[in-house]
Amino acid sequence: MPARDDLVIPADLLPRDGRFGSGPSKVPTGTLEALAAGGTTLMGTSHRQAPVRGLVRRVREGLTSLFSLPEGHEVVLGNGGTHAFWDAAVLGLVRERAQHVVLGEFGGKFADAVAAAPFLAAPSVVRAEPGSLVLPHDEDGVDTYAYVHNETSTGVMSPVRRVGGGDALVLVDATSGAGGLPVDVAETDAYYFSPQKSFASDGGLWLAVLSPAAIARATDLGGSRWVPPFLDLRAAISSSRLDQTLNTPAVATLFLLAEQVDRMLAAGGLDAMVARTTASSRVLYDWAAARDFATPYVADPDARSLVVATLDLDERIDATRVCAVLRSNGIVDTEPYRKLGRNQLRVATFPAVDPADVEALTACLDFVVERVG
Ligand SMILES: *Cc1c(COP(=O)(O)O)cnc(C)c1O
């Protein structure tokens, strides 16, 4: 049968905003308008002067409030996104041996980066079947525990709890989870993320909430092993304390991030954001439960992500075609994670996504499935 990508979804079914991508994700139109309206005092001006430093301060203070940071925890940032933070952590946070929980692609990438470091012991890797959750566990000789808050490739979320004793560090990849999932940051030593997921900004930066223990470890390791200057957490920490970055940041990314953090705080803070992502994701899981052709990919309801919902479709329905039809109607980025290779939809329900638009998406799905399935 030819692909019916020309199928037109009635306008009254369409969501107001059709961006459901898991990263880069929807940037609210209002923040883009704010950038256009107010950007001339920031864009194209020195990042060493008060206006851009004020933006960095707004981000650092806003995140301190949003996460109700315990005394001594600091918001640190640098260029290069989460991938750059992983390399900085290999060099500056893992002392000798790490334990990694691998739930999917992203947890696996950090584990691979540590495994490849010639100055570290082979990591202990705890692997879950894709679509399921495993937790880290206490292990002798491990000085760093690493796991993912929200595994964006599979839509599995993990509780955030401290593991390990002594001075072991807990590093949580919250790239897509931070801002949309519940957390007590005191349970972590590095709670790190990028702004293009739950924070509705653009890519290119990493942010990390570091505990005093993580700062001490970075200071210690940075003084005792060679670390390339760009990946030296000591430099990121000292620059951040001055509301700066080591080298030139993307000012627009900072602007959109600051606006979104302020919006989140004005709307009631992290609890309110979690209520919103819970409501949005429930729309999708309930929709799948009520259809005989759709099933939540994550079998354990407690591990089903509030911010990235993965829904398997029955083999009678070609998810690739469904996504193509949605795309031709302005509903974009519902495709599954490419390497997972499933007949699946993946829909981000980050805080910036309107639960009413998620409702509209399900109506569109019913319309499309009935016609192309
Ligand atoms: C998107 C993502 C990353 C990669 O982030 P970059 O900023 O592109 O490096 C890492 N981990 C998780 C969980 C992600 O969702």
Encode pLDDT of 192-227 as tens digits: 999 999 999 999 999 999 999 999 999 999 999 999
Residues recorded for the chain: 373
Encode pLDDT of 118-167 as tens digits: 999 999 999 999 999 999 999 999 999 999 999 999 999 999 999 999 99
d(CA 131, CA 312) in angstroms, rounded, equals: 11
Encode pLDDT of 251-277 as tens digits: 999 999 999 999 999 999 999 999 999
Q: Ligand 1 atom closest to Cα of 153? A: 15
Average pLDDT over residues 269-297: 98
Closest CA to 164 of 97, 212, 69: 97
Q: Ligand 1 atom closest to Cα of 176? A: 15
| pLDDT, the chain, mean | 97
Q: Mapping DSSP to helix (H, G, I), strand (E, B) and coil, where does residue 156 land?
A: strand
Both tokens assigned to 195: 């702004």
100 has pLDDT over 70: yes
CA 191–ligand 1 middle distance (angstroms): 13
Q: Mapping DSSP to helix (H, G, I), strand (E, B) and coil, where does residue 222 land?
A: helix
- Angle (CA) 249-253-254 rounded to 5° is 70
Both tokens assigned to 339: 């390497």
Q: Inter-axis angle of helices 233-241 and 212-224, to 10 degrees?
A: 130
Confidence of residue 2 (pLDDT cuts 50, 70, 90): very low
H helix or E strand, kind and range, residue 337: none
| Helix spans in the chain (H) | 29-38, 50-66, 81-92, 105-115, 212-224, 233-241, 251-266, 269-289, 319-328, 355-372
Task: Fill in the DSSP letter of residue 185.
Answer: G
Tokens 């009520």 belong to 290
CA 368–ligand 1 middle distance (angstroms): 31
Q: From 100, 152, 231, 333, give the residue whose CB has the most ligand 1 atoms within 8 Å, as the site to mutate.
A: 152
Q: Ligand 1 atom closest to Cα of 206? A: 7
Give the model's pLDDT for residue 1.
46
| Cα 202–chain centre separation | 12
- Amino acid type, 117: A
Binding-site residues, ligand 1, Cβ < 6 A: 23, 81-83, 106, 148, 152, 173, 175-176, 194, 197, 203
Give the model's pLDDT for residue 303.
98
Q: From 90, 105, 175, give the residue whose CB has the most ligand 1 atoms within 8 Å, as the site to mutate.
A: 175
State the sign of the Cα–Cα–Cα–Cα dihedral 242, 147, 63, 71: negative
370 has pLDDT over 60: yes
